[in-house]
């Protein structure tokens, strides 16, 4: 008799476990879905913060590039004159460098990279590279100017002109990269 009840007990136990197992599976699915929604919300807010930084960069670059172009024209028109690099800078005014913000993307997206479109990551990496290159070229320009502040010869002025041209080239590439990100971001986030 105990042998006859044994299969019924297992059958009843099996049927009692089915709702528990289904409940656990449903809870896991809901939890996974909630985590996905939270991850997407975090990535969306991070991308919004990044886009605001890049908008500020665009404004900054659009302000500085024309000033650097005027400075290059000033140097070019002074190549054969007897004024020094210090005189040129004094007459033109300070040579400003753009204040490029680009701090948040890695911090925000580090553990969420897999959720972000590759094109965004590629553009952001390029912006970071260009920012570092611009900083290096800016340091080179400042070093050159300070080391040659009294130089009046054509060769020194021409070399500074080439340095400024290189800086402007990087600034323009950086501007294009920032704009490319914003165009992509705005086209994918139209309300």
pLDDT digits (tens, 9 = 90+) for 26-81: 999 999 899 889 888 988 888 898 999 999 999 999 999 999 999 999 999 998 88
Is residue 171 classed exposed, middle or buried when 0-12, 13-18 and 19+ CB atoms within 10 A define those classes?
A: buried
Lowest mean pLDDT among 46-55, 96-105, 116-125, 149-158: 96-105
Is there a domain that residue 24 lies in? no
Give the number of domains in the chain.
Answer: 1
Q: pLDDT, tens digit, for every residue of 125-142?
A: 899 999 999 999 999 999
Q: What is the pLDDT of residue 188?
A: 87
Label residue 177 by pLDDT band (50, 70, 90).
Answer: very high
- Identify whether 40 is part of a domain: no
Q: Assess if residue 96 is contained within a domain.
A: yes
Q: What pLDDT score does 76 carry?
A: 93
pLDDT for residue 71:
93
Give the domain extent around 87.
51-188
Residue 118 belongs to some domain of the structure: yes
From the list 49, 180, 66, 187, the residue with the least C-alpha distance to 125 is 180
pLDDT of 182 reads: 95
Give a yes or no: residue 2 inside a domain.
Answer: no
Q: Quick check: is 150 in a domain?
A: yes
Threshold 0.85, pTM exceeds: no
Question: Mind giving me the DSSP string for the chain?
Answer: -HHHHHHHHHHHHHHHHHHHHHHHHHHHHHHHHHHHHHHHHHHHHHHHHHHHHHHHHHHHHHHHHHHHHHHHHHHHHTTTSS--HHHHHHHH-----------HHHHHHGGGGGGS-HHHHHHHHHHHHHHHHHHHHHHHHHHHHHHTTT--SHHHHHHHHHHHHHHHHHHHHHHHHHHHHHHHHHHHS--
**Can you state the angle between helices 118-147 and 154-188, rounded to 10 degrees?**
160
């Amino acid at each position: 008799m105990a042998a006859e009840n044994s299969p019924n007990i297992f059958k009843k136990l099996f049927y009692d476990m089915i709702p528990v197992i289904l409940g656990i599976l449903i809870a896991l699915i809901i939890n996974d879905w909630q985590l996905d929604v939270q991850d997407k919300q975090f990535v969306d807010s991070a991308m919004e913060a990044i886009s605001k930084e890049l908008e500020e960069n665009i404004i900054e670059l659009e302000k500085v590039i024309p000033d650097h172009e005027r400075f290059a024209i000033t140097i070019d028109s002074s190549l054969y004159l007897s004024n020094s690099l210090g005189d040129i800078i004094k007459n033109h005014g300070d040579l400003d460098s753009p204040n490029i913000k680009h701090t948040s993307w890695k911090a925000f997206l580090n553990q969420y990279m897999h959720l972000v479109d590759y094109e965004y990551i590629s553009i952001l990496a390029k912006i970071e590279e260009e920012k570092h290159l611009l900083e290096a070229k800016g340091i080179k320009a400042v070093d050159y100017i300070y080391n040659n502040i009294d130089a009046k010869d054509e060769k020194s002025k021409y070399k500074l002109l080439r340095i400024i041209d290189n800086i402007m080239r990087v600034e323009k590439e950086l501007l294009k990269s920032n704009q490319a990100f914003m165009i992509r971001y705005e086209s994918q986030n139209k309300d």
